[in-house]
Amino acid sequence: DQSKTGVLVMSYGTPESLDQIESYYTHIRRGHPPTEQQLKELVGRYEAIVGGVFPLRANTDNQVAALQETLDRLKGEGTPDFKCYQGLKHAYPFIEDGVAEMAKDGITEAIGIVLAPHYSVMSIGGYIKRAEAKAQEVGISMRFVHSYHLHPKLIEALANRVSRKLDQFVEAGANRDQVRVLFSAHSLPEKILQMGDPYQEQLLETSKAVAEKCGITSWQFTWQSAGRTAEPWLGPDILDTLKDLSQEQVEDVLVAPVGFVSDHLEVLYDLDIEAKKIAKELDMRLERIDSLNTDPLYMETLSDAVMKTWEKR
């Protein structure tokens, strides 16, 4: 259908059953299978979050459907009909499958967007490279949204969530200013800094904008979920940050994982289980803001970014 403009909505991807974890992990490791021990640990983490259910699978489906509805609803005069397709980095349907599907439907023009707001050559750059290569192969002209980390609606959605949780701390007897807000995101290898990568700066910009919007001064940024490899990763890691905060006598911590947009392993395990356990040992109260998932403000952020990129074509 040539009258439609494709929207390739890209996301990380997750296994769909416990027996798919090994091939998923092998894909993440660029074809190198994990050791038995590594595999066992990862299976254990998935089992700990929800026992055999992979929440990112349904969450991505829901986000893509909600974006389609939002694009249909906000379509203006002169905007084309957009049709969303899914393309995942490490699971079916892969990025290449999504592009092939668009070609099968006769689409010749498409916009690509990733369900992650901050650009790094190692994250968003990787998605774009694969989509672009496949698009060229099948003759689709594609343009990409590179980041949307300061979109006013994204900042508003995140600020609402931070404020809501701070209110709960206050209801439980804490002083609002004494709650330390920890903005966090997935760590990447330190070498990205030498490459002039904007990832860290964009994350700090989002954190600052959200802090300003909710009028908080007691905040800092920290990394999480660093890979288990020998090379140095960006730090400090949240588990070390919690230990430092305990030394500073901080008792109340609110984590805002602004680098993630959905409930999945890195939030449900790394924060809700691992970080909470350390906080408990340190006698701290740790809460986390709700994930964006299909928040209408997030969907409008995505839809606006898609339309702006289409207008610039």
27 annotated as ligand-binding: no
For position 309 contacting ligand FEC by CB under 6 A, the verdict is no
Q: Which is nearer to ligand FEC, 107 or 258 (CB)?
A: 258
β-pairing verdict for 179-186 and 4-11:
unpaired
* Cα-based torsion angle of the residue sequence 226, 299, 132, 117 in order, rounded to the nearest 10 degrees: -30
Q: Which is nearer to ligand FEC, 5 or 301 (CB)?
A: 301
Candidates 130, 151, 180, 264; binder of ligand FEC (CB under 6 A) is 264
Shortest separation between residue 142's beta carbon and ligand FEC, angstroms: 18
Candidates 28, 43, 282, 297; binder of ligand FEC (CB under 6 A) is 28
Kind and range of the H or E run holding 62: helix 55-74
Count of other CB atoms within 10 angstroms of residue 150: 13
- Which window, 99-107, 156-164, 206-214, 257-265, contacts ligand FEC (CB under 6 A)? 257-265
For position 238 contacting ligand FEC by CB under 6 A, the verdict is no
Which token pair is 16? Answer: 């769909």
Q: Residues 186-224, buried b or exposed e (16+ Cβ, 10 A)?
A: bbbeeebeeeebbbbebbebbbebbbebbebeebebbbb
Shortest separation between residue 194's beta carbon and ligand FEC, angstroms: 16
Ramachandran class of 196: left when φ > 0, alpha when ψ lies in -120 to 50, beta otherwise: left
146 annotated as ligand-binding: no
User: Taking each helix axis from N to C terminus, what angle separates 21-28 and 36-50, rounded to the nearest 10 degrees?
Assistant: 120
Q: Which is nearer to ligand FEC, 54 or 169 (CB)?
A: 54
Shortest separation between residue 134's beta carbon and ligand FEC, angstroms: 18
Which candidate, 146, 209, 217, 152, places its Cα nearest to that of 179? Answer: 217
Shortest separation between residue 224's beta carbon and ligand FEC, angstroms: 10
25 annotated as ligand-binding: no
29 annotated as ligand-binding: yes
For position 147 contacting ligand FEC by CB under 6 A, the verdict is no
- Which window, 101-109, 261-269, 271-279, 297-305, contacts ligand FEC (CB under 6 A)? 261-269
* Cα-based torsion angle of the residue sequence 128, 132, 134, 137 in order, rounded to the nearest 10 degrees: -170
For position 203 contacting ligand FEC by CB under 6 A, the verdict is no
- The interface with ligand FEC within residues 65-124 (CB under 6 A) comprises 116, 123
186 annotated as ligand-binding: yes
- Which residue do the tokens 């709960």 mark? 168
- Cα separation, 313 vs 34, whole angstroms: 42
Task: Count residues binding ligand FEC (CB under 6 A).
Answer: 19
Which token pair is 83? Answer: 């049709």
- The interface with ligand FEC within residues 156-195 (CB under 6 A) comprises 186, 188
- Cα separation, 212 vs 197, whole angstroms: 25
Q: Which is nearer to ligand FEC, 100 or 116 (CB)?
A: 116
298 annotated as ligand-binding: no
**Binding stretches for ligand FEC (CB under 6 A):** 12, 14, 25, 28-29, 42, 54, 56, 116, 123, 186, 188, 227-229, 259, 264-266
Annotated binding-site members: 12, 29, 45-46, 127, 186, 266
